[in-house]
Amino acid sequence: MIGAKTVAASKGEGPLRCSDVRVHFENLRQFVQQDRVWGSGYAAAGLHRGEGVKAQAESSGIQFEVCELGCRSNTEQGVDEMIIAKMAYKIFRQVAPNPPTPGVIVLATGDGNGHLEGSGFLPALKAFHHLGFEIEVLSWRHSLNTALGEWATQHGQVIELDHWYEELTYIEYGRQAKTRNELYRKLAQQRPV
């Protein structure tokens, strides 16, 4: 969700460090869940900003892992791989005794790194789609990987988060996220009649 910093600048939030813009996990869960049954949620982040949000995520029913950044690259590729592994484990753990009824996999990212080498989120989403799961990708408009966005548009749904910035984020020691009731009202206005 690093792309929120760029959206913050476009909204006039002023100069911010990436770690100042935080995801409001309870609102994110409600945004994803809406009128669906919540199965489970999982999030991961790099060590330099993970510990501060772990409790908030877990109090919202989202399991949270703090990962170290890559020692050579200082990137979050390991975070992505942990998310993919957790998604696969949750699904394939159920396959052995009895195949799960495919539901919806919602992935909040814009990252399509590694797809040319057969790794990363895109190949994983393709595999889950092949098993019958519906796919939704949530991303900031400017940070959505082209290949991931094109595939998700053709085989699922892409939901741009820019329009939901004030409901899904807050600024640490600054602007608060919109309330859950404000989120519900906005969601109700978006639903087809």
Cα separation of 2 and 19, whole Å? 8
- In CATH, what number does 4-186 get? 3.40.50.1010
The domain locations on the chain are 4-186
* pTM listed for this prediction: 0.83
Kindly report, residue by residue over 84-113, the tens digit of the pLDDT.
888 887 777 666 666 667 889 999 886 666
CB 32 within 8 A of CB 46: no
Strands 21-23, 169-171: pairing kind? antiparallel
Q: Give 6-39 pLDDT, tens digit per residue.
A: 777 777 776 666 668 888 999 999 999 998 988 8
